Amino acid sequence: MSHPRVIGPQATLPPAGLPGLDPALSRLVSVEGVLADAGETRLWHVLDTGDALAERGVEPRGTIVAVHGNPTWSYLWRALVNASLARADAGATPWRVVAVDQLEMGFSERTPLRRTLAQRVADLDALVTELGSRGPIVTIGHDWGGPVSLGWAVENRDRLAAVIALNTAVHHPDGAELPFALRVATARGMLAAGTTGTTAFLDVTLALADLDPAVRAAFRAPYATIARRRGIGGFVSDIPATPAHESTPALHRMSAGLRELQVPALLLRGPKDPVFGEDHLDDLTERLPHADVHRFEGAGHLLAEERPYADVVLDWLDEKVTDAAPAPARTRRASSRKRPAPVGRLWDALDARRDDDDTAVIDMTTVRGDGPLNVSWRQLAARVDELAAGLDAFGVRAGDRVSLLVQPGPTLTAALYACLRIGAVVVVADRGLGIRGLSRAVRGAVPDVVIGEVAGLAAARALGWPGRRISAAALPAASSRALGVEASLSDLARAGRGRPLPAPPAADADAAVLFTSGSTGPAKGVVYTHAQLSALRDTLAVHFGVTADTGLVTGFAPFALLGPALGTRSATPDMDVSAPRTLTAAAVAAAVRASDARIVFLSPAAVANVVATAGGLTDADRAALSRVETFLSTGAPVGVDLLRRAQALMPNAVAHTPYGMTECLLVADVTLPEIEAAAGDRGVCVGRPLGTGEVRIAPLDELGRSSDDTTADPQVTGEIVISAPHLKRGYFRLHLTDREARRGLGERWHRTGDVGHLDAEGRLWVEGRLPHVITTAEGRVTPVGIEQDAETVPAVQRAAAVGVGPAGRQVVVAVVETGARRPGLASPELTEAVRAATAQRLAAVLVVPTLPTDIRHNSKIDRTRVSAWAERMLAGEKPSAP
C-alpha cells in the first residue's frame, strides 16, 4: 500500500488500492471554519458520487450525507457509495452519496482546535453548505457520527427528507455509568495512551468484526502516527459522560429535538455491541416512535461491515421518500393513531363474571388439602384489579414492556391480565427456547419490568437482562437483595387494593410480544394489538363452541392463558410446559377430572408422550377422558396414526389438528374424519380457513423461490400466504422481516414460510418449509410427502427428506430414524424398502439414532441441520449424528 500524498495542511487523499473504494470518488473540499474555528479555512476529505453521476448524465433525487464515528472514516460507507452508483447504472434514479471524514479524522485536516459536539455539528453544516447539494437531504450516522448527523438534522428540518442511524446513542442519563469499554478508554491515565499514544483503541474497535486483513489495513491507513491519531483521543474525551461536560448541552438539545422530528426514520442495529446497548436503541425509539427498526441478529458494533445494509437503506428510501422531497409532517405514533372505543377487550368475560364464585382457574401443580388449588372468578377478578393498580403504583405505564417469566397457572394468569388491563405490553418467551434463546429474546425486547420466579430472576441477574424486578412469590429479604427484586406480586396487590385503575388501553394499542419457537432461525418477537388478541379469542370461541360450561385443559403454552378470556374454567396439567414431552396421560386425566373439561388442547410432542404413557391410566382416568368432546393438537404436523391413538384415549371426542403459527395462532382446522376422507394428496391436510380468514398460494419458481403473485387455484404448490383479523401487527424491531413477510401482498397478509397447496375442495395441504424445498434437475420437490412414504416402512420411526448439492441440481436423500446406535448408510435391505415405498428417486438412505428437533415443540425436524450432516456423510466424512 503506497503512502498517502499530502495535498494541504495535514489533509490527504487516500492511497489507491483500498478494497472496494474507487479513488476517483475521493475529493478534498475547502470550507470556511465556523464557531471557534471562524477565520480559518479547513480541508475536508469526502467520498462523493456527485461527479460520477454527472458524468452519467443522471440527476440525483437528493443527497445522503454519511457521517462516520470513532475511530473509523468515510471508508465505512463504501458499500452505500457503490450501491448508489450501481443503481444509477441499472437505470434507477439514485441518491448522491457524500461520505465525510470529520475534521481531525480519516484523511481530513488535523487542527489544534478541541472539537466539541456543537462544533462538529456546525462543521458539518458548513461542509453541506459548501457542497451546494440540491434537493432533499438524508442523514446517516454511526457511533458518534450518530449525534453529529442527527444534530445537523434537528437544526435543518426544512431540507431534511429522512434520518438513518446505525449503532449509536443520543442520550446519557445523569449519573449513569458509561459502557464498560468507554469507561476503560476514558479512565485517567488511559485516554492518551490508549487512543493516541498507541493504536489500542483502534485495534479493539476493528476487532469487533471479522474483517479481511486488507480491509482492516484500510481502516488503519489514516491513523499511522500519533499526530494523525489525536482526533481519536479528542472524540473519546468529548463523550458527554457528566452534566458538567462541555458537550452535554448540545447532546441534550439534539436528543430533545428528535422528539419533534417528523420525517421518516430508520434505525439499524447490531445487537452484539459492547458500546451501545439495547437501552440506547430503546431510548432512540422512544424519541422517534414512528421509526422503522431492524435488529440484525448476530451482528455487532461495526454493522456496516457485517451485514449488507446498503441495499436495505436504498430500498427503504425508495419506499419512504417516494417524491424525493422532504416528507410531510408526521405526528408521533401515540397521538396519530385513531383511538377507537376499547370494545371487545380480552378481559371482558372476566369482568362479566367478577361476582361469580364458580371456578375460573385450576392449578394442578399446587395441592391444598385434598385437591389442586382452585381460583374462583371473583378471586381472579379481584386479584387482577389489585395487581393492575399495584403495577400502576409501581410506575408501570401504558406501552411499557413487561417480561413474564412465570409458569402457566393462576399467578401468571393474574399478572398477564393485570398488565393488559393497564396497557402494559406483555413479553412472553418461554424456557423452551433454551437459556441462550431466552436471553436473546428478553434482552432484545428490552423490558421495563421483569416479573419472574426465582429461576427466571436468577437468570435475569446473571445474564444482565434489563428491567426492574418483581418476584412472583414473596422472597426473604436477603434473596430479594441478591436478585435485585424491588417488590413481590403480593406487595403490589397490597399497594393496589382500593386504588383506582387507569383508563384501559385502546383496541389498536400493542398488547403483547410473543416470541416464536426459534425452530426456523433466531426467535422473533411477534407483536399483537388488543383487537387482534380479542379476534383470536372470538375465532376460537365460535369455531369450537366454547361456552361458560365447556371447560378447557391446555398443555400447549400459547393457549394456556385464554380460559379467562373465553369465560370458561381452565386447567393446565401437571407438567413442564416448556418441555411438552413431560406430559403424561394420567396428568391429562387428572386435569380433565378436576375441571370437568370438554376440550383438551395439547402440542404434538405432548400427545406422543400421552399416548406412550396411557398404560398408567386407571379406570377413573379413562372415565374422565371419555367425557372429553373436543381434542386439539397444534404447533406442528400431527400424523394420522398418532391422532387415532390419542382419540382412542378420548373415544367420544372429535380430534382436530388446527394449523397456525405464532404470527397467526389459528389459520385453518381439520378433523380426523376429514383427514381420512381427504387422503390422496401429498402432504399434511390441515383443512379450511377459520372464520373470515383467507389462504392463498404464491407459486414457486425453478429454484424454489415464491412469487409476488398469489392464487387460490387447486394443485398449485407454493408458499402459503394468509390473512385474518387475528393476524399479528408485525415483528418487534425487525423491519426487514416485516417487509419480506408482506412482500407484494399488502399490510394484512403474511408469508408463512410454509409450502403447500389447496385441493379442489379448498382444503390446505402443507408440504414442508420454503427453505427445505429440494431443487433437482427434474424440478422442485417438497419433503413431507416423501417422509410420509418412508414412514410407512415398519423399521422407520421418523424420516427427513433433504437435498444435497447445489441449487437446481440437488439430489434427494432420505435420513431415517430407526433407533440405530450409530449414524451412517442404511443397510441394503432398509435402503431397498425405503426406495420401494416412494415414487421419488432417492440418491441415498441414511440412518440416525434420533432426528434433531426444535427445542420448544420437540417435534419439528431440523431439516437444515440434517441436510448439512447428510452432505458431509456422503462426501466421505464420518460426522456424529446431526
Distance of alpha carbon 438 from alpha carbon 443, whole angstroms: 8
Let me know how long the chain is. 882
Distance of alpha carbon 810 from alpha carbon 842, whole angstroms: 11
Residue environment code for 640-650, b if the CB has 16+ CB neighbours within 10 A, otherwise e: bebbebbbebb
Phi, psi of 403 (to 5 degrees): -85, 125
Distance of alpha carbon 844 from alpha carbon 811, whole angstroms: 9
Distance of alpha carbon 342 from alpha carbon 351, whole angstroms: 14
For the chain, the C-alpha Rg in angstroms (whole number) is: 30
**What is the predicted pLDDT for the residue at 561?**
81
Q: Report whether the peptide linkage leading into residue 689 is cis, meaning its omega lies within 30 degrees of zero.
A: no
User: What are 766-825's pLDDT values in tens digits?
Assistant: 999 999 999 999 999 999 999 999 999 999 999 999 999 999 999 999 999 998 888 999
Torsion (CA) 669, 671, 675, 676 in degrees, nearest 10:
-170
Distance of alpha carbon 824 from alpha carbon 219, whole angstroms: 48
Residue environment code for 198-219, b if the CB has 16+ CB neighbours within 10 A, otherwise e: ebebbeebbebbebeeebbebb
CB–CB of 668/691 below 8 Å? no
Residue 390: count of CB within 10 angstroms of its CB: 24
Question: Across 354-446, where does the E strand assignment appear?
Answer: 359-368, 371-376, 401-405, 425-428
771 CB-near residues (< 8 Å, 6+ apart): 520, 753, 864
Element (H, E) at 730: strand 730-731
Angle between helices 828-837 and 783-790 (to 10 degrees): 120
**What is the predicted pLDDT for the residue at 519?**
61
* Residue position matching grid coordinates 401504558: 398
**What is the predicted pLDDT for the residue at 277?**
87
DSSP state of 105: S
What is the bridge-based pairing of β-strands 525-529 and 811-817? unpaired
- What is the SS3 assignment for 572? strand
Extract the C-alpha cell encoding 811: 439430489
Extract the C-alpha cell encoding 868: 448439512
Distance of alpha carbon 389 from alpha carbon 680, whole angstroms: 57
Segments in the chain below pLDDT 50: 1-8, 324-343, 855-858
CB–CB of 55/85 below 8 Å? no
Residue 703: count of CB within 10 angstroms of its CB: 10
- What is the SS3 assignment for 644? helix
Distance of alpha carbon 754 from alpha carbon 198, whole angstroms: 54
334 CB-near residues (< 8 Å, 6+ apart): 289, 399
**What is the predicted pLDDT for the residue at 133?**
81
**What is the predicted pLDDT for the residue at 579?**
72
Candidates 670, 663, 673; CA nearest to 720 is 663
Candidates 296, 201, 291, 282; CA nearest to 239 is 201
What domains can be seen in the chain, in order of their start residue?
A: 5-320 (3.40.50.1820), 334-532 (3.40.50.12780), 674-769 (2.30.38.10), 773-874 (3.30.300.30)
* Residue position matching grid coordinates 431534511: 160
* Residue position matching grid coordinates 397447496: 757
Torsion (CA) 309, 314, 320, 323 in degrees, nearest 10:
170
Distance of alpha carbon 493 from alpha carbon 270, whole angstroms: 39
Q: What one-letter code names the amino acid at 245?
A: H
| Cα–Cα separations (whole angstroms), residue 833 to 2, 127, 640 | 67, 75, 22
Extract the C-alpha cell encoding 335: 397521538
Element (H, E) at 722: strand 718-723
- What is the SS3 assignment for 497? coil
* Residue position matching grid coordinates 419439528: 860
Candidates 591, 530, 520, 524; CA nearest to 555 is 591
Give me the sign of the Cα torsion angle 48, 54, 55, 56.
Answer: positive
Residue 336: count of CB within 10 angstroms of its CB: 11
Distance of alpha carbon 731 from alpha carbon 524, whole angstroms: 7
Neighbouring-strand partners of residue 12: 6
**What is the predicted pLDDT for the residue at 192?**
59
Neighbouring-strand partners of residue 26: 47
DSSP H stretches of helix in 464-529: 477-483, 489-496
CB–CB of 303/268 below 8 Å? yes
